[in-house]
Structure 1
Amino acid sequence: MESNTVFDKDFVEQLLPQKFPFVMVDKMFSYTETEIVSGLKIQEDNIFFHNGILVESGLIEHMAQSVALHTGYEFFLKQEIAPTGYIGSIKNVEIKELPKLHDEIKTTVTILQQFAGITLVDIVTTLHDVKIAFGQMKTVLAK
């Protein structure tokens, strides 16, 4: 199943286990079984917004929640409740730039492997089509 409809904040928040003020994804641009593109517009009320920027931990949390969004939408399509997931590991993360107030970042999550509730992904975050962060994550679904 492929979706290229842009979904907004209200719909996206229903797919994530995180709730305000901890939600770090406010758009879903596209979805396939092996990839999702999500977005976040940086706002002043974001708990990871300090001194005019989204701090590193906020950017990494956005990346992790983008993975969770893929899982949430996958279960939504199957009309099932998505299980809670956890970050198993983060590796090779490189942050080149931090977004500022009102910047809109886009993150592409590509699934490399998925087996027994464990998912390995590549994640790339861009700002104005320029790569600002990337890395790999392994997530684990709770049983």
Structure 2
Amino acid sequence: METTIVLEKEAVENLLPQKFPFVMVDRMFAYSETSLISGLNIKKDNIFVDQNIFLEAGLIEHMAQSVALHTSYQFFLKNETAPTGYIGSLKDIEIKKLPEITDTIQSTITILQEFAGITMVNIVTTLNDEEIAKGQMKTVLAK
């Protein structure tokens, strides 16, 4: 996938259920039915920044919101309102490095399985093409 910005900050924020100051995705680089590449430029005022470091909780929230963006964008393309989604489980989360303010991270989500509103995804987060976090997440859509 290429890294051209498909959606900028305002469009992404309109698709996500989270609102400022809890938005952890500010761009979408690529989308397909089975994958998405999202990004976040880490700013000093981010609620998950401590001593200029983006904390583990922020990385995991960024990963979760990347999954939410994929789901919301699918519904947007069908002119439908996206239902609320929840994290069902996290599996094999590995955080290798924490980014700092002014860094821009990218997460690639790949749908592994989707059935009856339950989605299992693989997520890899990079900083300057270096893998800094990865894992799997199961999300559940509210009925």
1:18 and 2:18 correspond: yes
Q: CA RMSD in A?
A: 0.8
Displacement of 1:6 in angstroms is: 2.2
Which structure 2 segments of 5+ residues have no match? none
Give SS of 2:38's match. strand
Match of 1:69 in 2: 69
- Give the 5 Å matches for 1:84-123: 84-123=84-123
Displacement of 1:49 in angstroms is: 0.6
2:78 & 2:47 partners in 1: Cα distance? 32
* Cα contact 2:112–2:121 (8 A) shared by 1: yes
Task: Write the deviation string for residues 68-114 of structure 1: whole angstroms up to 9, x where unpaired.
Answer: 00001000000000001000000100000001010000000000000
Displacement of 1:5 in angstroms is: 4.9
2:53 & 2:82 partners in 1: Cα distance? 32
Aligned pair count reads 140
After TM superposition, the score normalised by the length of structure 1 is: 0.96
Match of 2:56 in 1: 56
1:136 & 1:106 partners in 2: Cα distance? 16
Match of 1:125 in 2: 125
1:25 & 1:5 partners in 2: Cα distance? 13
Q: Stretches of 4+ moved more than 3 A in 1? A: none
Give SS of 1:92's match. strand
